[in-house]
Structure 1
């Protein structure tokens, strides 16, 4: 009976622990959602209702005219395209650089492998602020200032460490027997990687690409420093000057622009979060 009682007490404790965890997550969710909700409230207001401030959270006469205004502005669409182009290209470069490094770390045994992997991960913790001044001088010396290639190269370098670790976990989960069977049939390691391993690693590759692209989408300092022409800026930089470039440079227009700028990254992450999480834990499940 005592064992049964202890089991019930343990289950009750676990249940209350789950309740406390969900309550904490709910509070954090509300804390981070409130600024976005307030921004949305401003974005659907008329100019007259903006001056009501916090007196009315839900607008009395919500309108989508602010969104129509910014989406009809050619400059804003150019900023969106620049952001999409730079983010996607930088994420692609990060994944392409990470694939051979992650595959080598997963399949080959060599001296100092763990130290190298830790060093790669440590690079991820370095703030872009630390390298901005030497990076700017280096880009000037290479005549890469005000070129998309400079931003894409930096995006790729910053996104590669996380992609290496994510793809290593993905490669670890793929049975080596498949590659050994291909080697017996005469396939080279490169052929095995391209025809067997990479197709099986598509979820992990897609997850690494998405995480890198979402990170690039929100970058501000790098494109702000390396791109000086207004027409080359991505939306993360241009959003601060966008209100002054519209015919109605008001608070609600800027709020609508911020919503449109943030929404793609949020929508992609929410829609594909299960795939990303599954790719992150696949190695642990295998172990």
Structure 2
């Protein structure tokens, strides 16, 4: 009866060293990432400390000390002083409308440029890219004048239209690059089946780029939510202003209530965090959708 002996093949020493080196590098990268995350959290921790600190405690002990009492009047003062519920509704309405309209406009533009193959496609995409680089300070005077001429002065619609065009410039540039490489076989098959251009857009192109559109919509909402300069100029009355403008109204020329300002920043941050947590999975799927065929 024959017996078979199994001999273990020795592992080269270089393989062990390479594996150990990769493990060490991984831990170094994780440690650096943790340090960066902590550094980014420091301003939020300082804001949280000062949001529940009385003005006397803040002036005596500074912004880095722990509060001696749980002071909640800063949150109450901000809530009633700026009429926060109205500002919240204005911000949600403007940001949501810009996110939806900007994404649709980006899709239509990119479909015409990327799939329609219009002449001068490269120059048009370059023009949209240059449009995203224009500073808002250079645009605000003609925009304010045009809004006044058409009767949209102090109207949320003026801000919605402006940011829809601005955000869609970036969205068009991004989607045009994606749709420029769209498989022609799918388009030809849809054309042979008698599909119109509108049907090709919604039944062939839209399902493929839907993850990218979800990411664009989330980014457009957050970017518009954080905008300050154009809403400050275009929205002149208290009942039409947004949350960033309301935060700026807490600061005067000669005096600033730091605890109330920090409490207002904390309260204003909560809706954005809730929005991010609700759409975190959508954002993750949209970012990683293009990595797997």
Listed one character per residue, the Cα deviations across residues 149-170 of structure 1 (whole Å, up to 9, x for unaligned) are 1111111011112222444466
Consecutive unaligned residues in structure 1, runs of 5 or more: none
Map 1:109-258; keep pairs closer than 5 Å: 109-168=117-176, 171=179, 177-242=185-250, 250-258=257-265
In the alignment, which of 113, 128, 137 is matched to residue 105 of structure 1? 113
Is this contact kept in 2: 1:173–1:283, CA < 8 A?
no
Match of 1:77 in 2: 85
State how far apart, in whole Å, the 2-side matches of 1:126 and 1:35 are. Answer: 30
SS of aligned partner of 1:231:
coil
Listed one character per residue, the Cα deviations across residues 23-52 of structure 1 (whole Å, up to 9, x for unaligned) are 443333233321111111111234553334
State how far apart, in whole Å, the 2-side matches of 1:126 and 1:55 are. Answer: 37
After alignment, is 185-194 or 221-230 more displaced? 185-194
State how far apart, in whole Å, the 2-side matches of 1:220 and 1:63 are. Answer: 29
C-alpha change, 1:113 and 1:62, in structure 2 (3 Å) is same
Match of 1:261 in 2: 268
Match of 2:8 in 1: none
SS of aligned partner of 1:233:
coil
SS of aligned partner of 1:84:
helix
State how far apart, in whole Å, the 1-side matches of 2:153 and 2:17 are. Answer: 65
Match of 1:272 in 2: 279
Is this contact kept in 1: 2:250–2:257, CA < 8 A?
no
C-alpha change, 1:141 and 1:186, in structure 2 (3 Å) is same
After alignment, is 171-180 or 253-262 more displaced? 171-180
Q: 1:235 Cα shift?
A: 0.8
In the alignment, which of 60, 63, 67 is matched to residue 59 of structure 1? 67
Is this contact kept in 2: 1:167–1:208, CA < 8 A?
no
RMSD: 3.3
Match of 2:45 in 1: 37
Q: 1:256 Cα shift?
A: 1.5
State how far apart, in whole Å, the 2-side matches of 1:148 and 1:46 are. Answer: 35
Structure of higher CA gyration radius: 2
State how far apart, in whole Å, the 1-side matches of 2:103 and 2:62 are. Answer: 45
SS of aligned partner of 1:230:
coil
Q: 1:141 Cα shift?
A: 2.9
C-alpha change, 1:159 and 1:50, in structure 2 (3 Å) is same
C-alpha change, 1:14 and 1:270, in structure 2 (3 Å) is farther
Q: 1:87 Cα shift?
A: 1.2
Q: 1:139 Cα shift?
A: 2.3
SS of aligned partner of 1:28:
helix
* TM-score where L is the length of structure 1: 0.80
C-alpha change, 1:92 and 1:45, in structure 2 (3 Å) is same
